[in-house]
Amino acid sequence: MDSPTVVVEVMSPSTQHIDKGEKLEAYQKYPTIQEILLVDSQR
């Protein structure tokens, strides 16, 4: 994928801290991404 505009990250309890931390920071630095949706798999 060359120019993603939306990220949907489905978080599990075991990876939630990584998803909300280092992954989110990496996504926020990507210039074409306009929306980031974090989904709790337990809800």
pLDDT for res 2:
84
- Asked if 19 and 11 touch (Cβ cutoff 8 Å), the reply is yes
- The secondary structure of residue 19, as a DSSP letter, is I
pLDDT for res 43:
80
Domain ranges across the chain = 1-32
Evaluated on CA atoms 10, 13, 15, 20, the torsion sign reads positive
pLDDT, tens digit (0-9, with 9 covering 90-100), for 7-40: 999 999 999 999 999 999 999 999 999 999 999 9
CA 28, CA 26: separation in Å to the nearest integer?
5
Looking at the DSSP bridge assignments, the partners of residue 37 are 8
Per-residue pLDDT at 1 exceeds 80? no
SS3 call for 31: coil
